Amino acid sequence: MISPFRTGIVPVLTYHSQNIAGNDYASNDQHALASDIQTIIDSGMRVLNLSDLVDWITGKRPARFARNGIILTCDDAPKFDYEGVVYRDFGLQTSFRSIIQRHDAHITCFAIASPKARAEIGEDALGDAELMTDAWWPDADKARWASIENHGWDHCHPAVSEPVGDSRSFLGVADYATCRQQVQLAADSIAAVTGRRPTLFAYPFGESSAYLRNSYLPDFENEHGMQAAVSTDAGYATRDSNRWNIPRFICGRDWHSPDGFRAILDHAKRSW
Ligand SMILES: [Zn+2]
């Protein structure tokens, strides 16, 4: 007999709108997302909000709630998420917003809090600090298509000149004071921009120290206010997932083509 508590599995997908090295599926996450959303709809699956998935994992939603669900997320919150930009030699790039809104779907955007860190990352990685502006966050967070959530204070990105706690990786974010800056104060700072405090965290580069994951996040929930954290371990979310380490598939790393994407979806669909 099948246990009444057994439920299906849910893919949480991650895109980077700044992944623009060409203008086709394999070289450009905007093209991949546009194709993938159509595949999701054609396959009879549904886009759910990450916050609702967390409610499902914590038992606040019925077991069948996440049936045939998939979750869309994107990291770093560059301007490509929000509006069309002419970029380098690749011409006008459409925005994640236009793709998501066309299908009345939803995506969770994980944003970097520190304005200084964002400017340095934008300059270094994208050639323009303005591409990491927070000017669009309030509009996006109030709209149906997006939520602006927490991707840390400074991402421990190599371009950042003065990383918190002098750590060059989130593996080194491993004491209370550094975690507080990277999680709680980052959330405060994002809230000051959007008008709503984030409740979801994405580990930068998918990395987390054991202290952050197993002690700080679960033990100081009343202080930082996060309800869950996502990693980049390739795998499906389940009702039994650790809500402080929910796995995610990454476009370009875990799938590279419409066929590869369909395989991830089909496996999830068969589980229900
Ligand atoms: Zn990131």
In this predicted model, what pLDDT tens digit does every residue of 208-240 receive, in sequence order?
Answer: 999 999 999 999 999 999 999 999 999 999 999
Q: 151 alpha carbon to ligand 1 midpoint, in Å?
A: 7
Please check whether residue 4 lies inside any domain of the structure.
no
For ligand 1, the distance from its centroid to the CA atom of residue 7, given in whole angstroms, is 30
Its domain, for residue 231, covers 12-266
Burial of 129 (0-12, 13-18, 19+ CB in 10 A): middle
Q: Nearest-5° angle of CA 46, CA 241, CA 16?
A: 55
Q: What spacing in Å lies between the alpha carbon of 62 and ligand 1's midpoint?
A: 32
Ligand 1 centroid vs 75 CA: distance in angstroms?
5
In a domain, 73, yes or no: yes
Query: Span 50-74, mean pLDDT?
Result: 97
In contact, 140 and 109? CB cutoff 8 Å: yes
pLDDT tens for 112-164 read: 999 999 999 999 999 999 999 999 999 999 999 999 999 999 999 999 999 99
Whether the per-residue pLDDT at 5 is higher than 60: the answer is: no
Tell me, in angstroms, the distance from the centre of ligand 1 to residue 154's CA.
10
The tokens 């997320």 sit on which residue? 73
Distance in Å, CA 5 to ligand 1 centroid: 34
| CATH at residue 50 | 3.20.20.370
Whether 20 is in a domain gets the answer: yes
193-211, pLDDT tens digit by residue?
Answer: 999 999 999 999 999 999 9
Nearest to 245 by CA among 259, 231, 264, 258: 231
Confidence of residue 165 (pLDDT cuts 50, 70, 90): confident
Q: How far is the CA of 155 from the centre of ligand 1 (A)?
A: 7
Domain count, the chain: 1
pLDDT at 108 over 90: yes
> How many angstroms separate the alpha carbon of residue 271 from the centre of ligand 1?
30
204: left (phi over 0), alpha (psi -120 to 50) or beta: beta
Q: Are 17 and 243 in contact (CB under 8 A)?
A: no
Note the pLDDT tens digit of each residue in 14-42: 999 999 999 999 999 999 999 999 999 99
93 and 80 Cβ atoms separated by less than 8 Å: yes
What is the structure's pLDDT at 1?
Answer: 45
User: How close is the Cα of 205 to the center of ligand 1, in Å?
Assistant: 5
Ligand 1 centroid – CA 15 distance (Å): 10
Give domain status of residue 272, yes or no.
no
What is each CA distance from 117 to 80, 132, 161, 231, 232, in whole angstroms?
A: 18, 9, 8, 21, 22
Strands 200-202 and 107-111: unpaired
2 domain residue, yes or no = no
Q: Is 29 exposed, middle or buried (0-12, 13-18, 19+ CB in 10 A)?
A: buried
Q: What is the largest CA-CA distance in the chain?
A: 59
Global pTM reads 0.97
**DSSP characters over 174-220:** -SHHHHIIIIIIHHHHHHHHHSS---EEE-GGG---HHIIIIIHHHT
